[in-house]
């Protein structure tokens, strides 16, 4: 009795069709056990898997282990793992998404530390080499500002020495992560390290010494304090501050002025601007 082996190839499937047999070995060039097909059923089906489907994010068959591909040196990654390509060995190496960087010190499509569908990093990235950026760096930046500008001047009435007064009736600038109270304070919405800058134009009594304070919730920040000796009415000078400080959630910030020399002489201000910029946000 003769048997025919029929191979049918349809849309990526290889179907071997034959009648039911008893333990008949059909060899393919060798008698080795691991290179035989034992025909026990009438139809034996083998699904052809296109290896590109595994990498193009269109299909990730759960029944395929990574080392089945031949160039991945692990049976399967764990939850949250990513792959980087090692050019020296020609293999993909699983690793933690939070610490993986490229073999060549760069992050790109050959070390999959982000989701290829949206190119969004899903974990913190530690870069041990240089980061060269040719485009713009954008993201969530927290900032706030207040200001006024009056060429005629705005007088701040000081009732006694060492008795600070707030700057009031300010204008809102730009806020993201800050809330302006409509008068003289900004309230932070995120805990972090902030860069603070302020500029004031002042005209005061001759040889009178004034202090400007940056205040957080009623507490003066030492590095945000500036001193100025006025040259007399009609002479406009500039006072600036530039420093880094920590601000917690829901804390209010503002500027104050006081005179520390005797015989009060109310200062006149023609300009004020205060800006804050988050450089290390702790709760995002």
SS3 track for the chain: CCCCCEEEEECCEEEEECCCCCCEEEECCCCCHHHEEEECCCEEEEECCCHHHHHCCCCCCCCCCHHHHCCECCCCCCCCEEEEEECCCCEEEEEECCCCCCCCCCCCCCEECEECCCCEECCCCCCCCCCCCCCCCCCCCCEEEEEEEEEEEEECCCCCCCCCEECCCCEECCCECEEECCCCCEEECCCEEEEEEEEEEEECCCCCEEEEEEEECCEECHHHCEEEECCCCCCCEEEEEEEEEEECCCCEEEEEEEECCCCCCCCEEEEEEEEEEEEEECCC
Give the lowest-confidence range in 120-124, 145-149, 167-171, 197-201: 120-124
Distance of alpha carbon 54 from alpha carbon 45, whole angstroms = 21
Give the lowest-confidence range in 92-96, 109-113, 224-228, 233-237: 109-113
Model pLDDT, residue 95: 66
Q: Are residues 169 and 276 in the same domain?
A: yes
Q: Are residues 11 and 90 in the same domain?
A: no
Domain count, the chain: 3
Q: Are residues 16 and 117 in the same domain?
A: no
Is pLDDT above 50 for 181? yes
Instruction: Tell me whether residue 155 is in a domain.
Output: yes
Q: Are residues 211 and 254 in the same domain?
A: yes
Q: Are residues 254 and 165 in the same domain?
A: yes
Percent of the chain residues past pLDDT 90, beyond the cut: 47
Q: Are residues 167 and 261 in the same domain?
A: yes
The average confidence (pLDDT) of the chain is 74
Instruction: Tell me whether residue 135 is in a domain.
Output: no
Percent of the chain residues past pLDDT 70, beyond the cut: 57
Q: Are residues 277 and 169 in the same domain?
A: yes
Instruction: Tell me whether residue 158 is in a domain.
Output: yes
Q: Are residues 89 and 167 in the same domain?
A: no
Distance of alpha carbon 194 from alpha carbon 188, whole angstroms = 10
Q: Are residues 170 and 40 in the same domain?
A: no
Instruction: Tell me whether residue 72 is in a domain.
Output: yes
Distance of alpha carbon 16 from alpha carbon 25, whole angstroms = 13
Instruction: Tell me whether residue 137 is in a domain.
Output: no
- pLDDT interval class at 219 (50, 70, 90): very high
Instruction: Tell me whether residue 92 is in a domain.
Output: yes
Q: Are residues 76 and 155 in the same domain?
A: no
Q: Are residues 72 and 100 in the same domain?
A: yes
Instruction: Tell me whether residue 132 is in a domain.
Output: no
Is pLDDT above 80 for 196? yes
Q: Are residues 159 and 263 in the same domain?
A: yes
- Domain hosting residue 225, numbered range: 143-281
Instruction: Tell me whether residue 191 is in a domain.
Output: yes
Model pLDDT, residue 41: 45
**Which two tokens mark 222?**
């030492």
Mean pLDDT to the nearest integer, 127-136 = 75
């Amino acid at each position: 009795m003769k048997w025919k082996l029929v191979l049918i190839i349809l849309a990526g499937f290889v179907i071997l069709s034959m009648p039911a047999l008893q333990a008949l070995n059909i060899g393919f060039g060798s008698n080795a056990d691991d290179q035989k097909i034992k025909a026990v059923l009438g139809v034996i089906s083998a699904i052809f898997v296109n290896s590109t489907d595994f990498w193009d994010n269109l299909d990730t068959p759960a029944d395929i282990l990574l080392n089945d591909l031949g160039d991945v040196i692990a049976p399967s990654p764990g939850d949250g793992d990513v792959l980087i390509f090692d050019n020296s060995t020609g293999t993909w190496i699983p690793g933690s998404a939070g610490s993986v960087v490229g073999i060549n010190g760069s992050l790109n499509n050959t070390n999959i530390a982000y989701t290829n569908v949206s190119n969004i990093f899903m974990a913190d990235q530690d870069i041990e080499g240089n980061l060269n950026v040719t485009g713009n760096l954008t993201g969530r930046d927290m900032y706030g500002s207040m200001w006024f500008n009056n060429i005629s001047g705005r007088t701040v009435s000081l009732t006694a020495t060492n008795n600070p007064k707030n700057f009031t009736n300010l204008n809102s600038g730009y806020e993201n992560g800050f809330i302006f109270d409509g008068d003289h304070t900004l309230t932070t919405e995120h805990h972090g390290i902030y860069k603070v800058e302020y500029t004031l134009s002042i005209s005061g009594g001759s040889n009178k010494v004034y202090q400007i304070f940056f205040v957080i919730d009623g507490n003066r920040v030492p590095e945000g304090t500036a001193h100025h000796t006025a040259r007399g009415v009609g002479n406009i000078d500039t006072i600036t501050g530039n420093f880094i400080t920590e601000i917690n959630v829901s804390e209010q910030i503002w500027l104050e002025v006081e005179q520390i020399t005797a015989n009060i002489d109310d200062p006149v201000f023609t300009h004020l601007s205060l800006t804050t910029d988050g450089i290390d946000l702790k709760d995002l």
